[in-house]
Amino acid sequence: MHRIAEAYLAARPKSQALWARAQTLLGGGVGHDLRHHTPLPLYISHGRGGRKWDVDGHEYIDFLLGNGALLLGHADPEIGEAVAAALARGTHFGSDHELQMEWAEWVCRLLPCAERVRFVNSGTEATALALRLARAYTGRSKVLRFEGHFHGWHDEVVHGFAPPFEADGSLGVPAKVREQVVMLPDGDLERVASCLASDGEVAGMILEPSGASWGRVPIERAFLAGLRELADRHGVLLIFDEVVTGFRFAPGGAQQFYGVTPDLACLAKVLAGGMPGGAVAGRAEILDLFRFTGDPQHDRHRRVVHLGTFNASPLSAAAGTAALRRIATGEPTARANALAAQLRQRWDQVLEAQGIAGYVYGEASTFHVYFETDRHRVRAAGKRAALVTRDARRLKGMPSELVAQYQQQLRFRGVDVMSSTGGVLSAAHTETDVQQATEAFEAAVKALCEDGLVLCLD
């Protein structure tokens, strides 16, 4: 066992006991694939602001933040009060309620594309519903998506987000499902144009407007604008998966940040203020497909069907409304963005000072770290700036051993990231968090260097 793993385990007896229990209780031992860590998952007891604590009492600066849901940080008092007030009135009614309207009003006020909203329970449900709407609206059967972009775990999109992109995403998905999904590399408008010109069955194009995995693979604004034009030309719906970027990149999401308005947006995470929740928002004409008219023929055969026991749950509506009201001021976004910019600069300086073949990047309140592990590329590059790449296979294809050790080194030093090498910041983080996280990053990277997992420039 790696020496750091021994020390890490020795300091976590309660976590080890929970891990042993989990393996006899939970399918696969964890509740989400990304919670599977080396040498064992994190078991968190509580969080506050930008920090959280595990059951063994270790403190972490948290850049995972509930998988990106907590733009206001852990245990925000206003959100807590709003949820407590809703809780006192009952957890769930299976009926619509007033808070749902308030929640929807904030979504429509903030997001440029949102004329109507339909609430669901997660980002995965949001993308599944958006694809159904696109097919229903256009009467076409196929969906165009892009390599590396993540849209949740349902059958239609579970492939293609991790390299090799052409491989099946999961066991258990009927091969026929993929026949309805066309996948292209992003960034190449000509390929999208020729696909749409030759295939009249494409109903919608879905993508993360930040670029794949909340910007790990950056894309140009011009690509988004080009897709908008192509969508209009071919009568195809443009769907932004704003599950991470919505209310984070800007109060009006990535669509406001980049100034390109989609037909539909998929939302979750920040939308629900740290409670479970999601939504599809977009043009009224499209969301009218849910409408009942009273005509039995129409209502049975000419609508988009959508149900869901916990849709717009009162507790989620309360948390979401409290969060969006604050986010609407612009202040939380500005603060999280400024701290993230500081962190990106400080971490990049660490790589520069140590001569490491890598760089730090990201937009808004996100950060990503790329380590170049191809010796030929490092030798040919000579300097760090020459390593910058937009190649999804490289940016999403860092060796799994490197990523696992990077995460472990950081956790050992009290920093948790979101996925791969990157994370998100909140308005509740502080400059001290950035400073301490930078010290942890510096020590972690030194250790990775000593282990030969990252390379140095000559």
Would you tell me which residues interact with ligand PLP (CB under 6 A)?
A: 67, 122-124, 127, 150-152, 208, 241, 243-244, 268, 278
d(CA 423, CA 203): 33
CB 150 → ligand PLP: shortest distance, Å?
5
d(CA 74, CA 52): 8
Among residues 117, 391, 152, the alpha carbon closest in space to that of 247 is found at 117
Instruction: Kindly tell me which of 212 and 336 has the beta carbon lying closer to ligand PLP.
Output: 212
Alpha-helical runs (H) found in 288-430? 296-301, 314-327, 331-354, 375-381, 392-395, 400-412
Nearer to ligand PLP, 212 or 351 (CB): 212
Q: Which is nearer to ligand PLP, 243 or 279 (CB)?
A: 243
Angle of helix 189-198 relative to helix 221-234, nearest 10 degrees, comes to 10
Q: How many CB atoms lie within 10 A of CB 175?
A: 7
**Residue placing its CB nearer to ligand PLP in the complex, 4 or 271:** 271
Q: Which is nearer to ligand PLP, 185 or 414 (CB)?
A: 185
Match 């696909």 to its residue by tokens.
195
Measured distance CA(433)–CA(415) in Å, rounded: 9
The nearest distance, CB 164 to ligand PLP, in angstroms, is 20
Distance of closest approach, residue 419 Cβ to ligand PLP, in angstroms: 8
Residue number, 226 or 246, with CB nearest to ligand PLP: 246
Nearer to ligand PLP, 131 or 350 (CB): 131
Q: Which residue number, 213 or 408, has a Cβ lying nearer to ligand PLP?
A: 213
Hey, what amino acid is at 232?
D
Q: How far is the CB of 266 from ligand PLP (least distance, A)?
A: 6
> Smallest gap, in angstroms, from Cβ of residue 372 to ligand PLP?
25
CB of 124 to ligand PLP, least distance (A): 3
Rounded least distance, CB 241 to ligand PLP, Å = 5
Cα–Cα dist 206/130, whole Å: 9
Which one, of 376, 378, 397, 395, lies nearest residue 387 by Cα? 378
Min separation Cβ 301 and ligand PLP, Å: 30
**420 touches 33 (CB < 8 A):** no
Minimum CB separation of residue 331 from ligand PLP in Å reads 24
Instruction: Using the minimum distance from each CB to ligand PLP, give the nearer residue, 122 or 311.
Output: 122
Element containing residue 382 per DSSP (H, E): none
**By Cβ distance, which residue is nearest to ligand PLP?**
123
Report whether 411 contacts 42 (CB < 8 A). Answer: yes
Are the C-beta atoms of 196 and 236 separated by less than 8 Å?
A: yes
Q: Is 452 in a helix, a strand, or coil?
A: coil
CB atoms closer than 10 angstroms to residue 79: 23
Question: How far apart are alpha carbons 360 and 129 in whole angstroms?
Answer: 35
